[in-house]
């Protein structure tokens, strides 16, 4: 479990959220980096493009990247936006999230070995490393794997953590990456067909689960397009590709395009 440094996020902070409940006026999400703190995502903040149904963009259990737009510190409530997150912010956040998850895994394993609370590991290791070196904890752990325990000691990490941390870090530095691909055929006979196809792919990208990996959709000679997912878990990205193709099939009618999975 990822333990927060503070009880509430800052205004404008970019965060990972899990969609909890979707309804006509918006959705409730939980903020993964703040212990599952609940936040409200208004309908008007879901997408910058017109969508027929909010469920075309959001579904329960999906991971999304959001920006904090309002905080009531007295009530402890938070409002977030999906549409105010730029593509660059989204990509950077997902990369940070993957590194945070890897840090979490290391701290979970080490704290269990030492029979110490995982929260103590976050307080005495992760947050001290970030405060000392002004970067994410995993980057410092990678550095410690190369340079030795001095990196950890200078940040004030207690001795009890150092040896088991160094032993565990090496197992998590390199991750093999996998790629799955599928060609799809997308057409539109409308005068504004190019715009419809672009909007269709935009909706597909919004429905993609970024936690699984990275998505690319590109032309291989219209009307044929490649849907490509890259990630570290072969089974997960394969399952996500199958889910995404089904979602694209269901979206096609809404965007007035024809969609077909090309035969291999």
Categorize the per-residue pLDDT at 264 as very low, low, confident or very high, splitting at 50, 70 and 90.
low
Categorize the per-residue pLDDT at 24 as very low, low, confident or very high, splitting at 50, 70 and 90.
confident
Backbone torsions φ then ψ of 226, nearest 5 degrees? -95, 130
**pLDDT digit string (tens) for 161-212?**
999 999 998 887 766 789 999 999 999 999 999 999 999 999 999 999 888 8
In our burial notation (b when 16+ CB lie closer than 10 A, e otherwise), range 189-222 reads eeeeeeebbebbbbbbebbbbbbbbbbebeeeee
**pLDDT digit string (tens) for 29-45?**
999 999 899 999 998 99
Backbone torsions φ then ψ of 228, nearest 5 degrees? -130, 130
Mean pLDDT across 111-123 = 96
- H/E element, 28: strand 26-31
Q: Examine the pLDDT at 240 and tell me if it is beyond 90.
A: yes
Mean pLDDT of the chain: 92
Nearest residue to 247 (alpha-carbon basis) of 233, 234, 235, 261: 261
**β-strands 63-72, 77-81 pairing:** antiparallel
Contact 49, 199 (CB under 8 A): yes
Burial grade of 75 (CB within 10 A; 0-12, 13-18, 19 or more):
exposed
In order of start, what are the domains of the chain with their CATH numbers?
A: 14-84 (2.40.50.140), 88-169 (1.10.150.190), 178-261 (3.30.70.1130)
**pLDDT digit string (tens) for 128-168?**
999 999 999 999 998 998 899 999 999 999 999 999 999 99
């Amino acid at each position: 479990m990822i333990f927060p440094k503070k009880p509430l996020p800052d205004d404008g902070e970019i965060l990972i959220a899990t969609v909890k409940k979707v309804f006509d006026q918006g959705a409730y999400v939980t903020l993964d980096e703040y212990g599952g703190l609940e936040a409200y995502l208004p309908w008007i903040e879901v997408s910058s493009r017109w969508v027929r149904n909010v469920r075309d963009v959001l579904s329960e259990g999906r991971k999304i990247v959001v920006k904090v737009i309002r905080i009531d510190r007295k009530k402890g409530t938070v409002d977030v936006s999906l549409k105010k997150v730029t593509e660059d912010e989204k990509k950077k956040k997902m990369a940070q999230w993957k590194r945070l998850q890897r840090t979490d895994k290391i701290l979970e394993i080490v704290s269990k070995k030492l029979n110490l609370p995982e929260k103590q590991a976050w307080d005495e290791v992760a947050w001290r490393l970030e405060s000392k070196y002004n970067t994410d904890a995993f980057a410092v752990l990678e550095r410690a794997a190369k340079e030795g325990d001095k990196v950890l000691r200078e940040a004030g990490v207690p001795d009890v953590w150092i040896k088991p941390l160094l032993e565990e870090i090496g197992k998590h530095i390199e991750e093999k990456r996998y790629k799955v691909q599928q060609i799809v055929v997308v057409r539109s006979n409308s005068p504004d067909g190019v715009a419809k196809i672009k909007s269709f792919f935009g909706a597909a990208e919004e429905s993609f689960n970024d936690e699984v990996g990275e998505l690319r959709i590109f032309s291989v000679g219209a009307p044929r397009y490649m849907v490509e997912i890259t990630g570290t878990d072969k089974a997960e990205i394969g399952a996500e590709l199958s889910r995404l193709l089904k979602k694209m099939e269901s979206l096609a009618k809404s965007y007035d395009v024809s969609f077909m999975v090309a035969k291999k």
